Chains A and B, each alone.
Chain A
């Protein structure tokens, strides 16, 4: 703590502040600001705007958090007109010109969610109260997303969710100030079901192993209802403790049952371990009544696939996005290559889906502010409501006003038999079009919540 006050940055910053306006936390107090941009929390004055990137830097999802942070840095570069511009050139909305947001240079602060809702909220509150962030984004679990989303609603700033797959984020816990680009459990189920039926037939008997917490429940429910609608039956479903590392005792009963498909509603370390155990028990080589035994992992992640190694070969699952989309399925998924190109140039490897969703969320926020002409959360809310866009890698996409959920195609992938390198572990099987995964906002799996009113704070 012996840093001098007279650093270059200090001098520059003090200059820019011009009267200590910058980053002045104005939460819950009202103040009159210049140029009409006032009346909401942390209204940016001066020539910069601060965004808060709240990602897991320690704990089980630290790898994903690191990748999200890379994507945020890239997005900020592109917004400020540095680098090659990435998806700005393919994005269907042309409001962004690489001059920051509304002419204000984008700055960012980072924090560690530790994948704990308390720590995530503390970190987000420090961004809002201390650093004057006008938007918070990031996160790699639904518990954190729901907690931070509620905080942003209370404080009156925008929350652009990162990786969160539970239905609750835009279901029972949806908030007017929160937006989710990532897909959800229901969409995974709806996207997987027809492909499972096509690949494995209509008369399968499924056995579910489900992580014993909210996300596990919603995912199991989604996959179960979608596959049962296709004619599958569910033999059994067993909840596994979150902290379980050895799943042998849960896999053994599968061998005794008449099931011919095992669905692993697991994520992170759980998924790596349960899948490895299942393969070690010879489930992949098993035949039940003349049918090849199959394993399904509803939510796939590149980082987990890397953890599970060769065990993922031939296993089906769903993804929000994959870096090979545009190369393999053509120009409908434009933007993918532009993003992979600039990410690869800067970091030397292709981005994960967590990185993609965070990058896109940042761009979408910047674009909404620019189109609305204001950082006011209510203006952003209006600009994103039922906003249709394209060119951000997922094909034509809708940001639905009723629940702030994005609707787009869902990618169904399978683990490669012979991966060429550690970044190319999955192959794209098919893409389920958006209208097949669309549901009513009051669908039973999403019921019980209300967006409420947008809250500008201040």
Chain B
């Protein structure tokens, strides 16, 4: 715990810039935050262009990430990590079982689609509500302890949920084979589907899978309805997280992180604050779970496995715990590695290095191959270590370092004095 505390401390000054006048600015945000929200909004809405920089069919098209599934995953796991960061980044409580809330949200969401309607709005509301209730229960018990004991308790709850979903609760969760929508599900608010018709999640008739494709020269850009719905959810989640960070409540959470004893001595019980943060964070996870189901209508128990909980911790630390944008960056980074780097196989590599003489191709393929395809975990591990060692503040700190280098190059003395405090 102490490690994380000191690490995140390094970047805190950047994010906890004192809120000046609350009423001022855009949607109650101060200038810097407002421009961050606008920047994220623009990037998110233009993602189909930004993520598809290479023309179709070119050798570099392998690195294009602008297809619906991955774009949806970027924003959904972004929400998950933003929520986790409200707990971990602000209070310093390291939950190692956050995937359980995502999973519970997903199961709740799919049951809403099975029993009520295929519309995603009720399903997402049910997901958030059920995940919130479950996190209230888990938080109420786990928050009796702090530090490593808290982490172990949450991990235990998550693994318990996984084991229940995988076997004991098979009638409710579908066990190993998971839950899917069937045309003969009751769905009391919708009309019955015709025999054999595939049920598809929709928003008042707009199917999540519906896409508009735009061809510009050799480039193909896909605008997917599901992605934009998830993206709007992420922008709202991001905005709320900024408001929480800047609120008095956020200050209390930081106080819990910096010294809980001092808080106790001043006569303030930290428990209501930490529990509220835990539940908010669980509801974010539930929102992510509900969106996952809305975009891809199935749930498997592996979603709650401890590695999934570990992944969100990685995302947050990789991006920069306690920063606003860090978790989103970390989520995008890890999902990109998982979905793009893992698909590079030997044949692809041989294609890239085909320009070289045969022996050199073989050498290059032999060197690179262990790091791509099934070796993507290895690459991710190395990058994660590099980030933790050289950029303890995560990718955000990397960005700040680059920015300050850039400013110094301009030769401004004023800029030098503005540079971020060192580690």
By a beta-carbon cutoff of 8 Å, the part of chain A in contact with chain B is 1, 3-10, 13-14, 16-17, 20, 22-29, 57-58, 62, 108-112, 116-119, 121-123, 125-126, 129-130, 141-143, 146-147, 150-151, 153-154, 166, 168, 173, 176, 212-215, 217, 239, 241-243, 450-453, 455
Contact = CB atoms under 8 A, between A and B. Distances in A.
Given A13-B57, A154-B200, A242 B351 contact: no
Contacts of B68: 125, 129
Contacts of B209: 27-28, 154
Contact of B302 (A22, A108, A117, A243): A117
Given A5-B58, A121-B298, A242-B167, 4 more contacts: A9-B354, A151-B298, A176-B196, A239-B167
Contact of A20 (B168, B170, B215): B215
Interface stretch (B239-247, B264-272, B325-333, B338-346): B338-346
Contact of B339 (A17, A126, A176, A452): A126
Interface stretch (B81-89, B140-148, B173-181, B405-413): B173-181
Contact of B198 (A112, A153, A173): A153
Interface string B295-339: 011101011010000000000000000000000000000000011
Nearest to B303: A118
Contacts of A111: 342-343
Given A24-B220, A147-B177, A214-B176, A112 B376 contact: yes
A28 B210 contact: yes
A168 B176 CA distance: 11
A142 B176 contact: yes
Nearest 9 Cβ contacts at the A-B interface:
A117-B300, A57-B374, A9-B351, A452-B196, A10-B59, A125-B69, A17-B57, A116-B302, A212-B167
Contacts of A452: 183, 195-198
B3 interface: no
Interface in B203-223: 207, 209-213, 215, 217-220, 222
Contact of B338 (A109, A119, A239): A119
Contacts of A142: 176-177
Given A121-B296, A129-B68, A110 B211 contact: no
A27 B342 contact: no
Given A10-B59, A242-B167, A29 B342 contact: no
Contact of A62 (B63, B218, B343, B374): B374
A126 B343 contact: yes
B59 A173 contact: no
B305 A116 contact: yes
B156 interface: no
B300 A116 contact: yes
Contact of A129 (B69, B163, B217): B69
A143 B211 contact: no
Nearest to A240: B167
Given A27-B209, A215-B176, A117 B298 contact: yes
Interface residues of B, number: 66
A331 to B, nearest CB: 35
Given A3-B60, A27-B209, A57 B342 contact: yes
B403 to A, nearest CB: 22
B176 A109 contact: no
Nearest to B163: A241
B342 A143 contact: no
Contacts of A453: 196-197
B74 to A, nearest CB: 12
Contacts of A20: 55-57, 215, 217-220
Contacts of A24: 56, 220
A214 B302 CA distance: 14
B177 A14 contact: no
Contacts of A125: 67-69, 296
Contacts of A121: 296, 298
5 contacts: A7-B355, A8-B354, A16-B57, A29-B211, A110-B343
B166 interface: yes
Contacts of A9: 59, 351-352, 354
Contacts of B63: 1
A172 B60 CA distance: 42
B144 to A, nearest CB: 27
Contacts of B195: 450, 452
B64 interface: yes
Q: Which interface residue of A5, A130, A154, A241 has the most chain B CB atoms within 10 A? A: A130
Contacts of B305: 116
A291 to B, nearest CB: 33
Interface string B168-196: 10100001111010011000000000011
A13 B176 contact: no
A444 B417 CA distance: 77
A265 B45 CA distance: 50
Contacts of B166: 212-213, 242
Contacts of A116: 300, 302, 305
Contacts of A450: 183-184, 195-196
Contact of B170 (A8, A123, A129, A214): A214
A126 B70 contact: yes
Q: Which interface residue of A7, A26, A453 has the most chain B CB atoms within 10 A? A: A7
Nearest to B70: A126
Given A110-B345, A118-B303, A7 B220 contact: no
Given A110-B373, A147-B300, A129 B67 contact: yes
Contact of B67 (A126, A166, A168): A126
